[in-house]
Structure 1
Amino acid sequence: MSFVFFILLTFYIQVKGSVDEYRLLQYLKENYDSFERPVENSSAPLDVKVRFLLNQIMDVDEKNQVMSILAYMDYHWNDYKLTWDPKLFGGIRDVRFSGDDDASFKLWRPDVLLFNSVSESFDSTYSSRFIVSSNGDVQQNPPGIFRFVCQIDVTYYPFDKQTCFLKLGSWTYNGQYINLDFLLTQIIGLHGIPIVVEPERSSTNYASYFVNESIDLQVYLQNGEWDLEGTPGKRVVQKFGTDEYHELYFYIHIRRRTLAYGINLIIPSLVISMMTILGFTLPPDACEKITLETTVLLSVIFFLQMVSSTSPPQSQSVPILAAFFSCCLMLVACSCVFTVLTLSLHHRKPETHEMSPTMRKIFIDWLPYILCMCKPDHPKTPKPKVLGKSIAPIHRLSTIPMLNLPRVSQTTFPDKNVFVYHEVPAVIKNTSRICAELLIIERDIEKMLDKIEEDTKEDMLRSEWRFAAMAVDRLCLYVFSAFITMITCGLIVPHILANI
């Protein structure tokens, strides 16, 4: 029996509570107009407090310069028509009203919008319910996915830091009708510590000011790509003509996490750069050099395309990583072109590719001297003394006395039919024949010497071009090594140490 009595009592209390809530709702709806600004004095501004709760950074689109976040807006104001005595309505201290646009009964709400929104519906918040307290305080906390413009600076990509902001303000009410301000008394800061508000900043009469932390992070979830470093805020009283408008700026300072970029982009780029240095150590006429440098060239182009695909199309700033790849591309391309030209010159005639005096001064004398390179002697070049001793001066044989003896002669006597033959000694005949043969040999040797000198000159020209190519390769090796060292030590290493 007692159990049945308890059930009936509970049902009576619930019915009584529902009746009280129904009476309260009817009481609040009476003579209420959603278009009326809820102030007793029409010349006084309505204080509207805004709290911004960041839940998650969803995406930072560097290409389109748009940031997407999931957040909750929390609006607070006081409506003097929505007050009641809880004792007269069964102790009810708060009620809920629908926030839908098509609801049968609507409450007044401030038309606060995100000015730099790029969402399709512009206002991307969900129409949540209103929470009304007995003292007239009204609260609405609509969640939403906010997509807004964020100017991205990719100069130090992927070690960059970005600053984005949300600009909130009333679309139609100026400061004379709505006093828009931060609600900082109930928020948790970046390090999980409640924010302490200075007294003058909590006053509604305070104009423009700056706060170190403005976003509530008690429901914040870490992002896998970006670290949140700060959430300062600024209240601005902007003057347009004779009216003053209140604007709230919520700044978001983020820093890119570089672990994934280091594994997928930085380390491969450094390895490719080392391969480029290895290509400069190969001989200029080696076919493997062209193959290696062509492969490195294609790899550099591929990574440069990856960096360009993630960078916004702007001319104000260029990523340092893209400039690094561009310099690598230029040096490798120059080395490939010079190597191809050097190889092609080896197959030309000497008179078509003889080095000019200016080029000889630059590439044979000055550049090797600066690079501390010794000009090697050509191994096939015959020495002047060797040439002089190896071949006897045949033309000097004519100075031998016996070679100047008279040769076969014919003496004419008065009697023309009688010829007298002087018999020449056999020694002179043999000597004369040997001298004739030596003269033939001398002419053949001179032809051979001319051919040797021509081949030697051609080999020397090829050796000079090869030496010039070696000097340019050595210069590229030093320049590229210094460039990679400066880039690595000056840009990459400090950022890596800062992120450890």
Structure 2
Amino acid sequence: MDRVASVVVICLVATTVIARRDSSEFSCPSSSSSTTAAKLRDQLVCDYDYNIRPVKDHRNATTVQFRLLLKYFQYDHFSHMLSVDAWFTTFWVDEHLKWKPDDFEGIKSIHLSSSYDIWVPDISIYNRKDQSTDPKAIGDTMCSINYQGTVLCVPPLHFDALCVPNLKKYPYDTQECTVRFGSWVHKGEEVNLKFITPVIDTEDLETNGEWELVSFKGVRHRGNYSCCPNSTYPSVDVVLEIKRNSHTHAINVVLPLIVCILLTITTMTMSPLNNDRFILSCVSLIAHIFHVQNLSYSVPVTGENLPSLLSISRDSTLLAGVSVVLTVLLKNLMQNKNQSPQWVSVTASVLIGSRPGQLIFLPDNSLKGAAAAQKHEDGETIISNLEIPTNSSSDWFVFAKFLDVLLLITYVLTYFIILISF
């Protein structure tokens, strides 16, 4: 009985040893492929785990370098979205994908799938607009591997990144958009992310009708955080500075504003007694209102700063509305038949006490001719009160005319200050 038990134990041990030996022998069976390239592929992917970082010592970091081959970009300031189409050129070294070319008829490179054959870094775009999709920048593509283990992947990449606009100088604005790349789960001691200088290649960039790429740069952040003092989480910022091609926008929003401003100033040069001034003032106000509404469709209501153009349009609309009210008030003041107070009469006398004042403030040629100046021995010019028909009507007219000229000067200076501030 003991002998039988011993035989059974020996058989079990022998079976286990044979099974383990057979398992090790057939984990990577000889390739039955007819071509050398296929045999090389079979050897490389045999017993390869694409979920594990490709290092023999886990304490060594995998250095990943990348560059964007920019093909096209578009920016929408309404949705705060920068859309980019590019080729994502990526390099790293896979220590498990090395071979001797002499063993495979001199083959020095091979192509393998990034999805099923080899490990690829989980580089992601942190400020992607849609966070619900797969964050990986390297999708399904074929990668080139040379015999030294260097892996090159150039997958097509499309992403929409968040970029809040600064519209203060709209439509002559320049936007700075940042796209941040980094590993999704690995720390810097595992995946060391770097960029290739220059970080963007624009050789094949298609021109954009609305935006022009002015400059770009890459900025690497080490990624030290107080929560994790013993680890780093590096990231790379790709910064694009884009400038708006403002020709069309200038025609749509700037030129109408200039016309509205000139229209308002023109009304201020006309006499308040002229009915055309009131009509033109109303037309100017209506034109301003339509312009502000048109501008509201061209500029989003959100952003870091209020567009200066919108502020100018707002102020100009206010001035146009005030000019309508002033036209009515000045016309009534000029036609006032009531007795003028003493200070109005004194002001009128001072204003017409010179030849320029007579030309500017007196209502007609008969009054201008009647205001003959007499000279005293000391050279001072005064107006003879007996020769000038200084009734209340003319006093009100001269005073209103003075206010009208003063308002014209005020409007011109106000618009000048507003425009130079833009």
TM range (shorter): 0.7 to 0.9
Pairs within 5 Å for 1:47-126 = 47-58=63-74, 60-100=75-115, 105-119=116-130, 121=133, 123=135, 126=139
Q: TM-score, normalised by structure 1?
A: 0.63
Do 1:335 and 1:473's aligned partners in 2 also have CA atoms closer than 8 Å? Answer: no
Pairs within 5 Å for 1:90-169 = 90-100=105-115, 105-119=116-130, 121=133, 123=135, 126-169=139-182
> How many Å apart are 1:235 and its aligned residue?
0.9
Residue among 412, 415, 420 paired with 1:481: 412
Matched, 1:252 2:240: yes
Distance change (3 Å), C-alpha of 1:263 and 1:124: farther
Q: CA RMSD in A?
A: 3.5
Do 2:113 and 2:141's aligned partners in 1 also have CA atoms closer than 8 Å? Answer: yes
Q: C-alpha offsets along residues 173-231 of structure 1, whole Å, 9 cap, x if unaligned?
A: 111111111122xxxxxxxxxxxxxxxxxxxxxxxxxxxx5322222223222222211
- The 3-state SS of whatever aligns with 1:82 is coil
> How many Å apart are 1:363 and its aligned residue?
8.8
> How many Å apart are 1:268 and its aligned residue?
3.1
The residue aligned with 1:328 is: 316
The residue aligned with 1:32 is: 48
> How many Å apart are 1:87 and its aligned residue?
2.9
The percentage of aligned residue pairs carrying the same residue is 25
Amino acid at match of 1:75: T
Amino acid at match of 2:153: Q
Distance in 2 (alpha carbons) for counterparts of 1:99 and 1:324: 55
> How many Å apart are 1:322 and its aligned residue?
1.7
Distance in 2 (alpha carbons) for counterparts of 1:156 and 1:366: 46
Q: Greater helix share, 1 or 2?
A: 1
Give 5+ residue unaligned stretches, structure 1: 1-15, 185-212, 382-455, 493-500
> How many Å apart are 1:71 and its aligned residue?
1.7
Distance in 1 (alpha carbons) for counterparts of 2:351 and 2:306: 33
Matched, 1:278 2:287: no
> How many Å apart are 1:315 and its aligned residue?
7.2
> How many Å apart are 1:172 and its aligned residue?
1.0
Distance in 2 (alpha carbons) for counterparts of 1:153 and 1:366: 52
Distance in 2 (alpha carbons) for counterparts of 1:328 and 1:367: 30
Do 2:167 and 2:303's aligned partners in 1 also have CA atoms closer than 8 Å? Answer: no
Pairs within 5 Å for 1:170-181 = 170-181=183-194
Larger Rg: 1
> How many Å apart are 1:278 and its aligned residue?
1.1
Q: C-alpha offsets along residues 110-136 of structure 1, whole Å, 9 cap, x if unaligned?
A: 111111110362638553222222221
> How many Å apart are 1:262 and its aligned residue?
3.0
> How many Å apart are 1:152 and its aligned residue?
1.5
Distance in 2 (alpha carbons) for counterparts of 1:267 and 1:254: 24
Pairs within 5 Å for 1:439-450 = none
Matched, 1:339 2:327: yes
Do 1:113 and 1:168's aligned partners in 2 also have CA atoms closer than 8 Å? Answer: yes
- The 3-state SS of whatever aligns with 1:238 is coil
Do 1:331 and 1:476's aligned partners in 2 also have CA atoms closer than 8 Å? Answer: no
Distance in 2 (alpha carbons) for counterparts of 1:365 and 1:142: 86
> How many Å apart are 1:288 and its aligned residue?
2.0
Distance in 1 (alpha carbons) for counterparts of 2:97 and 2:87: 24
> How many Å apart are 1:43 and its aligned residue?
0.8
Matched, 1:298 2:298: no
The residue aligned with 1:447 is: none
Distance change (3 Å), C-alpha of 1:156 and 1:468: farther
- The 3-state SS of whatever aligns with 2:181 is strand
The residue aligned with 2:362 is: 376
Distance in 1 (alpha carbons) for counterparts of 2:308 and 2:50: 55
Do 1:239 and 1:245's aligned partners in 2 also have CA atoms closer than 8 Å? Answer: yes
The residue aligned with 1:21 is: 37
Do 1:63 and 1:310's aligned partners in 2 also have CA atoms closer than 8 Å? Answer: no
- The 3-state SS of whatever aligns with 2:294 is helix
> How many Å apart are 1:272 and its aligned residue?
2.5
- The 3-state SS of whatever aligns with 2:233 is strand
Amino acid at match of 1:376: L
Distance change (3 Å), C-alpha of 1:487 and 1:222: farther
Question: How many pairs are equivalent?
Answer: 361
